Structure 1
């Protein structure tokens, strides 16, 4: 195998630290989590205590200001060990960056420190029963009311971290007639009236991964639930297109790590 020069000594020290965390806090429990269909909430809190959540986030919000290679190491190590139930990547490298890059100062101050500690778990709700990767086909709506609030209606499915999530970034149409150009993103918290979580979905694989349905029935959202505020209204599709390349790269990194682990285990077995 070609020697990789991508990671520094500090990166490799972090890899060793994260491996120890996995040995202690994940490995002994993952099989049981696969049976129950989700990981225990406690592992999120312990990850936050050890600085393993939102590492690339600026220090002012509770992150470490680390480069993305630290997150790459997490992807590699989790998938090489088959710990597919851990949703740290989506939480730290998808949900948090949306809030950091597009949120208002108040939204950043409210959510980011709690995401960094694991006090709050984040999810993003794009996929719908009739709209998977076709984000232009989203049917959920969030229509502005005379008092400035929004009324959110629709449903989402296959939402990673959906069962545990305390805050969900919801993709919805604020101007349905405008198609993709009428899409906005909303921050919806657990317990908001009209927001309900459906059953946890049983899957062929990724059995410990918390995946669920979400339902929004006349959910009244204040104006400040719009991610980025009024300036970002109808600009949600642009945000999605800007962030999806890194999201897809995370999948590729994880897949390569899992594939390499499978090859390594096969070679060790046949020897």
Structure 2
């Protein structure tokens, strides 16, 4: 019942907004209820997206923006200060009711099948309201749900996807370890097959977003220690499995409230039916997922940059020095121009790549790794600089916690480290370009 309600709410997103095609596609559904003012996010439509000519996508953007302004933005400062999601409201359930968890899941598996451009829109607009909520959302909807949708058997999909899509359950993914981050295929977490055909996991995983609250986790382990990357297998792990535990929540510089922790496996027995994909073929699940992870997560820095503009633009009108608004000074206008161009260029690259992936319909493209790495490299580094410029424009006010600029900077920096560091992204891009010109 809850899953059906979530799906109906999701379908309402596209009802009665821009374009007759939207109404025809979802005819017969009631209109969406009013979702509150955009004032909390500055009331701006923001920089025009690369998909501005797509009425349905832009209608979706407006609805997600209104939802995020009403349901997420009011909690952003408290989430950062308290390092936890609000207790008085279940944001996971609200995101599920609004249909945002299953955007890339095919309709036959209970999702909307809308594709990665829509997923990027959702990630961007939630990040604009709260980057930490968006990071947890991305780990849940992309790293966990999308991987299950792409690789799970029919029985696995039926077991896990409904509650994950509705937001009743929380998802996570774990591949990094204390000794293997960028060199992820050197992982030491081991899965040994027992006499019953099940697997016994031993080892640790590190930096697991949503780890402390996750009900369902995609975990990678070595089933053949001598085979390097050809000995990796992906598993579906459930909270409460004997031998599986989480260590303490990490106290991070930014993305506070997006729980991150270490996972511990001590003789954790995992049924064979919980293998995701094929035994010793987990590297294909992992690497294909990394490209899509980098694409979707690149929309997070876009939201942070837009949030910076949301703070900066009213301020440069209201703040007066030497008898006029500081926005009238050319040096301030130059900084605003830099913010705009950094956001617009990164946004164009992200959405053009997302559209191309959607048009591929699952086909293999050898340029995908390079292009997805380019998306997050550009967006992440631009976002850090944009957040710094936002602080500089606000001066002393930018340096105090009454304004969100400090939080935006702390949150932005994560994207230069997570999902592969900037250095690894450059390595991927340079390596692939070099190979293309051989």
1:52 alignment partner in structure 2 = 100
Give 1 or 2 for the bigger CA radius of gyration: 2
Taking the aligned partners of 2:272 and 2:92, their CA distance within structure 1 comes to: 30
What is the TM-score normalised by the length of structure 1? 0.92
1:260, CA displacement in angstroms? 4.3
CA distance 1:5–1:244, shift in 2 (3 Å): closer
Taking the aligned partners of 1:66 and 1:25, their CA distance within structure 2 comes to: 23
Which one has the bigger strand percentage? Answer: 1
Q: Which moved more, 1:81-90 or 1:142-151?
A: 81-90
1:23, CA displacement in angstroms? 2.4
1:146-225 alignment runs, 5 A limit = 146-225=195-274
Taking the aligned partners of 1:83 and 1:135, their CA distance within structure 2 comes to: 25
Taking the aligned partners of 2:193 and 2:113, their CA distance within structure 1 comes to: 36
Q: Which moved more, 1:44-53 or 1:252-261?
A: 252-261
1:36 alignment partner in structure 2 = 82
1:233 corresponds to which of 273, 279, 287: 279
Unaligned runs of 5+ in 2: 1-45, 317-326, 328-438
Taking the aligned partners of 2:47 and 2:253, their CA distance within structure 1 comes to: 34
Which one has the bigger helix percentage? Answer: 2
Unaligned runs of 5+ in 1: none
Taking the aligned partners of 1:242 and 1:5, their CA distance within structure 2 comes to: 24
Taking the aligned partners of 1:127 and 1:4, their CA distance within structure 2 comes to: 33
Give the RMSD, CA atoms, in angstroms.
1.9
1:116 paired with 2:161, answer no
Contact 2:76 2:129 in 1 (8 A): no
Give structure 1 regions of 4+ aligned residues with deviation exceeding 3 angstroms: 1-5, 263-268
What is the TM-score normalised by the length of structure 2? 0.58
Q: Which moved more, 1:241-250 or 1:192-201?
A: 241-250
1:43-82 alignment runs, 5 A limit = 43-82=91-130
1:24 corresponds to which of 61, 70, 84: 70
1:243 paired with 2:243, answer no
1:79, CA displacement in angstroms? 2.2
Contact 1:142 1:174 in 2 (8 A): yes
Q: For this pair of structures, how many residues does the alignment match?
A: 268
Taking the aligned partners of 1:236 and 1:204, their CA distance within structure 2 comes to: 32
